[in-house]
């Protein structure tokens, strides 16, 4: 990433919010938190498009940061675990709209980031395709790096964080 100043400006309000800080206590793969995962996806997404004037950079950074803002521990066996892949994009988009007042375009990018998993919801914007690609690259990297490493499975709701 070259323009760290612009990335910092676009991400500041989300990264400094107490709501997004909850993502430090929810995990993506192994011991990688959703906070770190989402930051990595936002940084990679921004790096891929920062030189192109064709992209809405604020949308890319904000939607990438909030793409997994589902706010529950999904590794606990049960209904959430089984359907997490399909359901979390809509839950994250709804949470992001409620808490950060995101735009319709940002909502769409979050809602579609799991495609092709969510077959009927492909990205509608270029920004959505970039986030979806960056998410897969980062998730693959995490899965390879974190094989065998575990975290404690406690839902943030039960810890009084939400």
Residues in contact with Fe ion by the rule CB under 5 A: 68, 135
Q: What is the 3-state secondary structure (H, E, C) of 117-129?
A: CCCCCCCCCHHHH
Question: At residue 33, what are phi and psi to the nearest 5 degrees?
Answer: -75, 160
Q: How far is the CB of 104 from Fe ion (least distance, A)?
A: 19
Q: Classify each residue of 146-158 as buried b or exposed e, where b means 16 or more C-beta atoms within 10 Å of its C-beta.
A: beeeebeeebbee
**Token pair 């919010």 in the structure block, residue:** 17
d(CA 136, CA 100): 24
2 vs 21, beta carbon nearer Fe ion: 21
Q: How far is the CB of 43 from Fe ion (least distance, A)?
A: 13
19 vs 118, beta carbon nearer Fe ion: 118
10 vs 93, beta carbon nearer Fe ion: 93
47 vs 51, beta carbon nearer Fe ion: 47
d(CA 157, CA 81): 16
Per DSSP, 26 falls in state S
Q: How far is the CB of 53 from Fe ion (least distance, A)?
A: 27
């Amino acid at each position: 990433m070259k323009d760290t100043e612009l990335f910092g400006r676009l991400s500041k309000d989300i990264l400094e919010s107490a709501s997004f800080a909850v993502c430090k206590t929810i995990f993506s793969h192994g011991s990688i938190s959703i906070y770190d995962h989402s930051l990595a996806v936002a940084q990679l997404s921004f790096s891929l498009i920062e030189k192109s004037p064709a992209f809405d950079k604020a949308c890319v950074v904000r939607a990438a940061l909030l793409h997994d803002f589902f706010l529950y521990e999904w590794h606990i066996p049960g209904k959430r675990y089984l359907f997490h892949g399909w359901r979390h994009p809509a839950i994250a988009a709804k949470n992001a709209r409620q808490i950060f007042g995101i735009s319709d375009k940002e909502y769409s990018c979050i809602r579609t980031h799991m495609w092709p998993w969510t077959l009927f919801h492909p990205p509608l914007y270029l920004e959505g395709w970039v986030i979806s690609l960056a998410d897969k690259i980062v998730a693959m990297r995490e899965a390879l790096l974190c094989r065998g490493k575990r975290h404690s499975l406690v839902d943030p709701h039960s810890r009084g964080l939400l």
